[in-house]
Amino acid sequence: MKGLVAVFLITTVLLCSVVVSAGSLELYMGGGPSTASCGEINTDIDLFNTIITELNDTPIVTGDVPLLDNLGSGIAYQAGERFWLSDRFALGGKLEYFRASTATSGTYTAIEGSETSTIALDLDCYSVGLILGGRYTFLDAGIRLSADLGVGYYYTGLTSAITFEIPTEYPPISFQPQEGEGRYTGSAFGFEGGITLSFNLTDWFEVGTSLFYRNCTLAEMSTAQGTHLDLDGDDSREGVDLGGITVQFTLSIDIDLSLITGGKE
């Protein structure tokens, strides 16, 4: 989290340094669907689903547990500002928030006897990113087409709650899930790039849509006590792959800085 604060301070200094030369200030916000690969976490989910599928089909118990959806699809939100240094080129920064979750639960009852076994999994992942970048408009014909490129610092958290009880008569499974509750965090630098299509409704109000690709991988995550993420219990440290596609629908307003500074000398 300290890294996120440091990047924020650097962003403030850099953006303030270009205010004097900027022709206009653009403030914007938006949201839209987003995906993240989540890598090793989804590999663990596949392992969980393999066992759940076999338990759903085994004749020694009754009951059914729905399969766990892969983690990584959610909604992303952003808010930021750009200083336009010319009609085509701008520098700026934005704050991004992404969240995704998946969950399942159910109970098995033994055919012989009264033993019950509960399986419940709940995974919730979020990421906060601070991105510094630039925009270049290469087509302006009423509708503007621009290219964006930025470097960011991403702070990510994963909350897990796992109960994975296997019926006594079922053969031992090959892995030991990290049962119980945990809250893991980590951070890493990454980059993103994309294309934006925008249209001015008035001289100061604009709507647009963007398609971004994000590349960022956290090698590992851990709790405040130093316990490393290891959902499948194989004693290997697991990370999160945030790489994925984001679609954003944005609203923005333009502020003429010359009205604030009193015009150019």
| Annotated domain spans of the chain | 2-261
Measured over the CA atoms of residue 219, residue 224, residue 227 and residue 232, the dihedral's sign is negative
Stated pTM of the model: 0.85
In the structure encoding, which two tokens stand for residue 230, read together?
């290891």
How confident is the model over 81-105, as pLDDT tens digits?
Answer: 999 998 899 999 999 999 999 999 9
In this predicted structure, what is the pLDDT of residue 6? 52
pLDDT of residue 255 exceeding 90, the answer is no
pLDDT of residue 2 exceeding 60, the answer is no
**Percentage of the chain exceeding pLDDT 70:** 88
Among 219, 194, 218, residue whose Cα is nearest residue 208: 194
Is CATH 2.40.160.20 the classification given to domain 2-261? yes
C-alpha span between 42 and 251 (Å, rounded): 34
In this predicted structure, what is the pLDDT of residue 22? 47
Instruction: Report yes or no: 166 and 54 within 8 Å, Cβ to Cβ.
Output: no
